A and B are shown apart, each in its own frame.
Chain A
Amino acid sequence: MSKKKQRSYSQDIVGDSIHSIQKVIEPPADTSSRILKYLLIGISILFLFLMLVLPLVVVVVNALRDGFHTYVEAVLDEYSIKALQLTLLATVIAVTVNTIFGVFASYLLSKFYFRGRQFLATLIDIPFSISPVIAGLIFILTFGNVGWMGEFFYEHNIKIVFAAPGVILATIFVTFPFVFRELFPVLNAQGKDEEEAAALMGAKGFTIFRKITFPHIKWALLYGVILCTARAMGEFGAVSVISGHLRGKTNTLPLHVEILYNEFNTTAAFAVSSILVLLAVLILIARNFVEWKKK
């Protein structure tokens, strides 16, 4: 309790000092610049309200349009629950895989100099600039019946396309660079002097990572994981291509929303959407919390 108080006290001091510096620098505001200020703020608020807030309101209002009972029924529908399970499974696997990759890749690219380093960084960024539909397509072209590896998997009776593994693979692909992109700038800015010193003093690899590298990237890692979770959870295009829309089997929550919507079951579609909206808002809050902690 006392620790908490102390922290906020010191923050107040910092906040105040920044504020006072700003006050000194800022030229005395005349009326026209004050009008401009409120005009610009007004436009921004209007823009954000129209583009961001209103769509959320639409989801909530439509989800509850036919009463709370219908809402609960749509959310607790057997297929919705199954879709939620698959979404969570794919998200957990994708986030785990991409976190492992992100940590290793950012360590590699920031602590060592080697030929082709820049090229490797570009390759890692590829999934970011590819249309999700194409991301789904490439897995069909690899593992599907038409794909060059399709025969092998068919003979061994392993289904990837139009099955859960395909959904998971597509999710991993789409969110592949996220953790890396958060970690890399932090590690790069930190340099490698500390690790070198530790290594020269005889520390082993894992000790160096745990005691020196990790404390630097703690918050960036959490931040990357949050972003990755958000994208993995909501991925639609790539998963839509590869899932084959099998209800209760390969449907994720966003796909379930699409099916309900196309069946003109709008209320149910918005009800299921509201789960995703809730998750998105939670992620945003977590993100802002981490951002605040980083500072």
Chain B
Amino acid sequence: MEQQIVKVKNKKGVRVIPGFGLSMGVTLTMLSCLVLIPLISIFVSASHLNFQEFIEVITSRQVVSGYIVSLSCAFFAAVINAIFGMLLAWVLVRYEFPGKRIMDGMIELPFALPTAVAGISLTFLYSDQGWIGSLFAQAGIKIAYTRVGITIAMVFVGIPFVVRAVQPVLEKLDRQYEEAAMMLGAGRVYTFFRVVLPELFPSLLAGFGLAFARGIGEYGSVVFIAGNIPYKTQIAPLLIMSKLEQFKYSDATAIALVLLLLSFILMFFINSLQIYMQRFHKV
């Protein structure tokens, strides 16, 4: 989709379009002042850490369980989002039904709704006295203040990512292949998994990755429903927060650094995957 800018200047090697210096200056200045310099601070203060101390902090039982909770819940939430996001994209692209436009417009709600509001609202809904939580409580299942609750909150914030990643690709997908597959005698399920899904897979994966990354870092909507029970429902961002409240800045920095590296690795993985996939799509 993205059009590559051809590497051509005019014959003298001079840029024709004015404004290069100005826009480069503005971009670099703002980027450095507002993003890069603050970001470097975390590495500066991490360098003051004693290596042994650093290892001690990030391998303590509480912190490790925080990483595990964050990663596992975010992963399951991303899987759920991939399935339902795929389904939603399919329904929105392929079917006509009343209320479709409203449904399409609603997808971005988790994006527009402040996370804290979503957090308290979901907690109320899924707590033992809540509308949905009470139904499950009768069956002896607790949702709020467990990992299930955390996963639900992460599903909430991740919905738009998969839908919006898959939707445009599905819109452009030529139906001829499906028809051909059907004519050749393939069943509907077979056609979907062998013809449609491979085409959608790169975008589905990209959406999955974004939802996953968002889930790992999510704080506002998760913190209320998590309930902050040590070793059970403490997510990594919450640990950073509680270290900060105790003014243990170096501990917070250490935890943050590992979390940062995790999300960078994830982002790098997504990016290289997309570049790899784009190779097949370029004509």
- A-side residues, CB < 8 A to B, are 25, 27, 33, 36-37, 40-41, 43-45, 47-48, 50-56, 58-59, 62, 97, 100-101, 104-105, 107-108, 110-114, 117, 120, 122-127, 129-134, 137-142, 144, 146-148, 169, 172-173, 176, 185, 188-189, 191-192, 195-196, 199-200, 204-205, 208-209, 227, 230-231, 233-237, 240-241, 253-255, 257-258, 261, 266, 269-270, 273, 276-277, 280-281, 283-285, 287-288
Contact = CB atoms under 8 A, between A and B. Distances in A.
Given A134-B259, A199-B16, A147 B217 contact: no
A108 B17 contact: no
- Assign chain B's interface to a size class: 35 or more
Contacts of B136: none
Contacts of B124: 58, 62, 266
B23 A51 contact: no
19 contacts: A40-B90, A44-B87, A44-B92, A52-B109, A58-B130, A105-B27, A127-B35, A129-B267, A134-B237, A141-B38, A146-B249, A199-B17, A205-B18, A231-B111, A254-B117, A266-B124, A281-B112, A284-B109, A287-B105
A6 B238 CA distance: 56
A56 B240 CA distance: 29
Contacts of B24: 108, 112, 114
A246 to B, nearest CB: 14
Interface string B99-121: 00101011011111111111011
Nearest to B88: A44
A169 B30 CA distance: 12
Given A133-B241, A141-B45, A112 B20 contact: yes
Interface stretch (B1-9, B52-60, B198-206): B1-9
B220 interface: yes
Given A48-B106, A130-B263, A237-B115, A27 B179 contact: yes
Interface in B15-34: 15-20, 22-24, 26-27, 30-31, 34
Contact of A123 (B36, B91, B122, B179): B36
Contacts of A281: 112
A188 B236 CA distance: 38
Given A141-B44, A147-B41, A107 B220 contact: no
B63 interface: no
B116 to A, nearest CB: 4
Contact of B44 (A148, A192, A253): A148
Contacts of A196: 16-17
Contacts of B36: 123
Contacts of A123: 31, 35-36
A280 B114 contact: yes
A276 B116 CA distance: 10
A131 B219 contact: yes
A177 B217 CA distance: 17
A234 B219 contact: no
A280 B114 CA distance: 8
Contacts of A280: 109, 112-114, 117
B54 to A, nearest CB: 15
A55 B119 CA distance: 9
A150 to B, nearest CB: 10
B151 interface: no
A108 B27 contact: yes
Contacts of A124: 31, 35
Contact of A236 (B116, B217, B264): B116
B47 to A, nearest CB: 11
Given A113-B7, A287-B108, A55 B118 contact: yes
A199 B19 CA distance: 11
B131 interface: yes
Nearest to B155: A51
Contacts of A132: 217, 219-220, 237
Q: Which of B15, B31, B38, B266 lies at the interface centre, i.e. has the most chain A CB atoms within 10 A of its CB? A: B38
Contacts of A285: 105
A107 B106 contact: no
A101 B117 CA distance: 29
Contact of A141 (B41, B97, B111): B41
